[in-house]
Structure formats: C-alpha cells, structure tokens
C-alpha cells in the first residue's frame, strides 16, 4: 500500500469534469516520478483517492494544483496526506462561517441597524488585521442595552452549513468525539451542539444584566490561543496524539489550532488563513472532510 494519498473532491457544478481532473493529476504525479496505485472513487464523479509513493505530500499538493490550474481552475478541492491513520478520533470545529453560515454578532447588530459597521470589524478580525479579543469587546459594546430576547430572535436566522450534519454524524458513528469550539457565544453553540449532536461546546459568554445585554463578554475571552489550548487539552484527556485530531475553521483565530492538529482543514477560508494552511476546502461542502478521511459515500451518515 502506498504511503500517501491525494484526494480530489469536486463541488456539484464540477462533477462532470472530475474524471478529467483525476487523469490530469495522475499524469502529473507520474511525470514527477511518483508511483501511483489504482485510484479509488469514494463517491462517483465527486471524490477520488489517488494513492502514491516516491513523492512527498507538499510536492504532490503543488503539482496537483498546477494540473488543475491548467484545466481552468475547476471547482475541485484536493488534500494530500499520509495514508496511515487518516480517520481522526477527535474533531474540533469552529462554528461561525464553518458549521453555520452566519456570523451571529453581525445578525444581532442587524437588529440595531449596525450590520455594516459590525460586519466590517468581523471581517478584519477574521482576516487577522486586528486583535480578535479586542474586536469582540468592541462589537459587543455596541449592543449594550439590547433586550435579552433578541438573542433568541436572531437564533431563528441560523443556517446550518451543507454537510455539517453528515460530518458530525458520520465521525461520531465511527467512534470520534466531536467538539464545537467558537469565539462566539455559548447561547448559540449550545443550540448547535444539541441540534447536530456534538459531544461538547466551548465558547464565550455574553453578559446580561436586568434583562438586557450589558455590552460586555465574560473574561477571559476564548480566542486563537484558547482554541489551540482546547485542542491540546481534549486530545490529552482522551489519550490521543495530536496526529489523531481533525480541526476545521475559516478565520485567522483558527490558525494555531489547524496547524497543530493532525489534519487541519481551512474551510472556505479568509485570506489570512488560506495563506497559512495548505489543506483547504475552497469549493465543496463539509462532506469533503469525510472524503479526505477516506469515507466512501456509502459510509456517510446523513443525520436527521
């Protein structure tokens, strides 16, 4: 069995070109001297494993991306990694713009007519242009005096990211422990944990006084270093090496967690994260994280 595997995952609109992309990548790897074993389709015209040897994963990644670029930058993602122990036993997932499509502070600000102002601060924080904790304090301060029921009101706007239910359900069905770790608020992570079946949620607490938002967040704020610490602590508690962990996120505050995980995936990432983390899913949905672990379409549990 070859030591490495490169997985191609096509977004729905690129399924018709998936076979062509696979052949192009196989040809490129062989021209670089790789020994390529028979490919394995995990899902017809969607996801394919290309096992290979005699080429390191960084070289394979770069070569495959160049091959796809020659085809016209198709909506096809790829991840190259060692074949051994692909299936991870601990999942840490960011919530906003990863497991859900929303940024909940932006949704709250919308009720006050402040969406554009707050969304710009969110954008800069997620791209690492400003300190995350300071940006969180600044945005929450703008909500001071908002009635507490507004927290539940905007929860109705939550949109679950495609593939999120399948990701959690499938990994848990195969024995993994699934954790939601967010720089957002537990009022929302607790809801998503219950809805999707996460084992645990870790997040910040937005403070309420006399039925209204106080404009403050409980300290210390969970930010970039807190996510990394959570990964290390949870792996240690479960007796797992970091190699057995999978972390996924979209923003700059996820960088350390993704770089430390056995498999760190930048999901539709902001530019600052895309520049730091090689393994990216730019086009497909969250089921891509299952294909990357070698799950076939038949093994995926789609949940309720």
pLDDT value at residue 277: 95
| CATH 3.30.420.140 is held by the domain 1-84 | no
How high is the mean pLDDT of the chain? Answer: 96
Q: What is the mean pLDDT of residues 34-50?
A: 97
Rounded to an integer, the average pLDDT of 114-131 is 93
Q: Do residues 51 and 37 make contact, with C-beta atoms less than 8 angstroms apart?
A: yes
* Residue 301 predicted with pLDDT over 90: yes
Domain with CATH 3.40.50.1000 in the chain: 86-304
pLDDT single digits (tens) 145-166? 999 999 999 999 999 999 999 9
With 70 as the cut, is the pLDDT of residue 62 above it? yes
Whole-prediction pTM: 0.96
User: Can you give 176-225 as a three-state secondary structure string?
Assistant: CEEEEEEEEEHHHHHHHHHHHCCCEEEEECEEEECCEEEEEECCCCCCHH
pLDDT band at residue 13 under the 50/70/90 scheme? confident
Q: Positive or negative, the Cα torsion across 290, 160, 16, 76? A: negative
Q: Is the pLDDT score of 304 beyond 70?
A: no
Q: Of the candidates 239, 291, 246, 88, which has an alpha carbon nearest to the alpha carbon of residue 174?
A: 88
Asked if pLDDT for residue 51 goes beyond 90, the answer is yes
State which fold the 86-304 domain adopts.
Rossmann fold (3.40.50)
Q: Cis (ω within 30 of 0) for the bond into 49?
A: no
Structure token pair of residue 212: 């209204």
pLDDT beyond 80 at 1 = no
Angle at 93 between CA 261 and CA 87, to 5 degrees: 55
Q: How far is CA 69 from CA 16, 31, 52, 75, in A?
A: 16, 17, 21, 10
Compute the distance between CA of residue 186 and CA of residue 165 in angstroms, rounded to an integer: 19
In which residue ranges of the chain is CATH 3.30.70.260 found?
A: 1-84
Residue 73 has pLDDT above 90, yes or no: no
Q: Is the pLDDT of residue 303 over 80?
A: no
- pLDDT for 235-268, tens place per residue? 999 999 999 999 999 999 999 999 999 999 999 9
- Which of residues 6 and 73 earns the better pLDDT score? 6
Find out whether 272 and 224 touch, Cβ atoms under 8 Å. no
The terminus-to-terminus CA distance of the chain in angstroms comes to 36
Q: What pLDDT is recorded for position 12? A: 86
**Residue reference for tokens 């996460």:** 198
Alpha-carbon gap, residue 168 to 301, rounded angstroms: 9
In sequence order, what are the residues at sequence separation of 6 or more whose Cβ sits closer than 8 angstroms to the Cβ of residue 152? none
């Amino acid at each position: 069995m070859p030591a490495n595997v490169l997985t191609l995952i096509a977004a729905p609109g690129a399924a018709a070109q998936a076979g062509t992309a696979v052949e192009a990548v196989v040809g490129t790897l062989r021209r670089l001297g790789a020994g390529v074993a028979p490919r394995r389709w995990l899902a017809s015209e969607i996801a394919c494993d290309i096992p290979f040897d005699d080429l390191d994963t960084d070289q394979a990644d770069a070569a495959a991306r160049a091959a796809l670029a020659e085809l016209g930058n198709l909506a096809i993602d790829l991840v190259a990694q060692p074949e051994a122990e692909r299936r991870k036993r601990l999942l840490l997932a960011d919530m906003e713009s990863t497991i859900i499509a929303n940024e909940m502070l932006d949704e709250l600000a919308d009720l006050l007519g402040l969406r554009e102002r707050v969304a710009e601060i969110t954008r800069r924080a997620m791209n690492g242009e400003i300190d995350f904790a300071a940006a969180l304090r600044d945005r929450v301060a703008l909500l001071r005096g908002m009635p507490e029921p507004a927290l539940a009101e905007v929860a109705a706007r939550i949109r679950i990211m495609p593939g999120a239910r399948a990701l959690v359900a499938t990994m848990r069905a195969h024995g993994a422990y699934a954790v939601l770790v967010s720089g957002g608020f537990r009022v929302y992570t607790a809801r998503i944990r219950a809805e999707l079946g996460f084992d645990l949620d870790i997040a910040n607490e937005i403070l309420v006084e006399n039925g209204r938002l106080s404009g403050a967040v409980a300290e210390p704020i969970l930010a970039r270093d807190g996510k990394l610490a959570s990964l290390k602590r949870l792996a240690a508690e479960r007796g797992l090496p970091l190699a057995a962990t999978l972390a996924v996120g979209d923003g700059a505050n996820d960088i350390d967690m993704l770089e430390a995980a056995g498999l760190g995936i930048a999901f539709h990432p902001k530019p600052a994260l895309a520049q730091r983390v090689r393994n990216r899913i730019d086009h497909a949905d969250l089921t891509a994280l299952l294909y990357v672990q070698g799950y076939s379409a038949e093994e995926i549990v789609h949940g309720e």
